[in-house]
Structure 1
Amino acid sequence: MKSKLWYQLGRRLCFYFLFFFICPLDSESIQERFLPPNGYLRVIYPKESFSTYLQNFPLKPKGSPVFLYNGSKKQNQVHLAVLDFPLLKSDLIQCADAVMKLRAEYLYSRKEWGKIQFTISNGMEVPFFRFAKGDRVDVKGNKTSWKVGNGKKGNNRDVFEEYLKFIYSYAGTISLKSELVKKSLTHLEPGDVWIEAGSPGHVVMVVDKAQSKDGNTVFLLAQSYMPSQEMHILKNDTPISPWFVLPEGQIFPTPEWEFPSNAFYGFRK
């Protein structure tokens, strides 16, 4: 009996050792780390929504710096948290690419293959289901065409990653803006963006929202930037940082870009 008890105790101690020393203790989501300011309550969305997916997106441990794709630290550390958002070892996942990746990852996690579609810079629509069928896009200068059945088929992760890498290479803020819908700030939700299209352009994404009893709104913003870098929660120069308030003037300043306040868009449902 004693040997059995010691055996069970040993297994339990082994479990605790593995839990505390191998499992990350600081694996928090956005909503777990950032409580709303006093007087505000986080807005709760349907469990399967894109908004809830973003609110629950995991963060790297507190104090993590933002790294670039080449392993060096970003010079301008303008964040209070870093999303657990792996990069490629090439300068591909910049601001618009990171937003498209989050949207695509959400749909992929739900196995909604048919909804994963983005427009590239020449206006061609590139749905994931074509890649899943084995089709690939042939690029010659600014002209593109489908090559039928020339690639690996399936909805597997490697095909999905190949698809995303193609989108990163041939899409940007201009093409992303073309497929978004204009929104009123009064209807702000996680998943919406401020976007200014151009070369360069920029985009930041709303990833959480809270409201007060009298209807005031605060929200969190995330961005990637140039060169390719980890996506991060932006800080600001207010007592409630990193929470932002709705802009009241014509310009909405963020740490590395000023947007027209009305340059506000959302994904089509």
Structure 2
Amino acid sequence: MVGRIYQTGGDSLKLEFGFSLGSRLGFYLSALFVLFSFPIDPESIQERFTPPNGYSRTNYPKESFSSYLQNFPLKPKGSPVLLYNGNQKQNQVHVAVLDFPLLKRDLIQCADAVMKLRAEYFYAKKEWGKIQFTISNGMEVPFSRFVRGDRVVVKGNKTSWKVGFGKKGTNRDVFEEYLQFIYSYAGTISLKSELRKKQLHQMEPGDVWIEAGSPGHVVMVVDKAMGKDGQTIFLLAQSYMPSQEMHILKSETEFSPWFVLPKADRFQTPEWEFPTKEFYGFVK
């Protein structure tokens, strides 16, 4: 990033090394502007959102998926949610946007975003063997097969492996190719088949409310706090249709953006109402 140095008009006092007083002052002002306007490290979810008075954030082991989500970086405050084509989402129902790059295609929607977060977590840990998803016809597609150079051939609703057809390795380009295949052939129905039912009192970041269908929807818990009275509050994130940046949702509670555990049969979020019982977590 290049800062523009403004020089005062008229004659200026020349200093050593050929710098004028005006240009040196401009240089320092530009440097300070860059330093304070563009933080080196983006805020994480837990850094930006402090639990309300009387509540304490629930901490998880550093290497856990829950901790990974709590520490996920956010875009600068005030950022709008952008669609895959660069346009702003019409219904801005968020309080923060995850630093979550999109493809320039309408591929990463609600379930895809959840799978991407899960896959990125294992990829960051180099646990290649744990990256695996089921596509819509029930076929299990592990990343480890892509690592060996195998690829899936799709003919209608039938799929098969073609051995040694693609590039081998765990490099980012192979990983992105794998993810784009998953985005194209998985969704809420296939994702739900991989999850296990949970009770609300078992909630932890990484769990989801999911309603499978075409269309269906899924939202993910990304942080959790507990009150002295035992009440649980939590933050929710979603992507949506069309493909858009993942974002943390507003709530209608007194603790907004924190949600409270629903007590009714239906759980209302800004853009979808879920059956409260449709609450799930990853098996591993």
TM-score range, shorter chain: over 0.9
Q: CA deviation at 1:268?
A: 1.1
Query: In the superposition, relative to structure 1, how do residues 241 and 22 fare at CA in structure 2: closer, same or farther (>3 Å)?
Result: closer
Equivalent of residue 275 in structure 2, options 228, 250, 260: 260
Query: Structure 1, residues 68-127: CA drift from partner, whole Å, max 9, x if none?
Result: 001111000000000000000000000000000000000000000000000000000000
Q: CA RMSD in A?
A: 1.8
Equivalent of residue 93 in structure 2, options 61, 78, 102: 78
The residue type equivalent to 2:128 in the other structure is W
Aligned counterpart, 1:30: 45
Q: CA deviation at 1:25?
A: 5.6
Query: Structure 1, residues 192-249: CA drift from partner, whole Å, max 9, x if none?
Result: 0000000000000000000012211000000000000000000012221110000000
Runs of 5+ consecutive residues of structure 2 not aligned to the other structure: 1-15, 17-23
Aligned counterpart, 2:199: 184
Which sits farther off after the overlay, 99-108 or 238-247? 238-247
Aligned counterpart, 1:139: 154
State the structure with bigger RCO (CA 8 A, min sep 6), 1 or 2.
1
Aligned counterpart, 2:102: 87
The residue type equivalent to 1:178 in the other structure is S
Asked if residue 239 in structure 1 is aligned to residue 276 in structure 2, the reply is no
Larger radius of gyration: 2
Aligned counterpart, 2:229: 214
Asked if residue 123 in structure 1 is aligned to residue 138 in structure 2, the reply is yes
The residue type equivalent to 1:184 in the other structure is Q
How far apart, in 2, do the equivalents of 1:118 and 1:90 lie?
21
Equivalent of residue 216 in structure 2, options 195, 201, 213: 201
SS class of match (2:160): strand
How far apart, in 1, do the equivalents of 2:161 and 2:122 lie?
23
How far apart, in 2, do the equivalents of 1:118 and 1:224 lie?
18
Aligned residues of 2:253 and 2:260 also touching (Cα < 8 A)? no
SS class of match (1:252): strand
Asked if residue 155 in structure 1 is aligned to residue 155 in structure 2, the reply is no
Q: Which runs of 4+ in 1 moved over 4 A?
A: 16-19
Asked if residue 68 in structure 1 is aligned to residue 57 in structure 2, the reply is no
How far apart, in 2, do the equivalents of 1:74 and 1:151 lie?
36
Runs of 5+ consecutive residues of structure 1 not aligned to the other structure: 4-9
The residue type equivalent to 2:56 in the other structure is L
How far apart, in 2, do the equivalents of 1:131 and 1:69 lie?
26
Q: CA deviation at 1:17?
A: 5.1
TM-score normalized with structure 1 length: 0.93
How far apart, in 2, do the equivalents of 1:108 and 1:46 lie?
18
Aligned counterpart, 1:6: none
TM-score normalized with structure 2 length: 0.88
Query: In the superposition, relative to structure 1, how do residues 132 and 26 fare at CA in structure 2: closer, same or farther (>3 Å)?
Result: closer
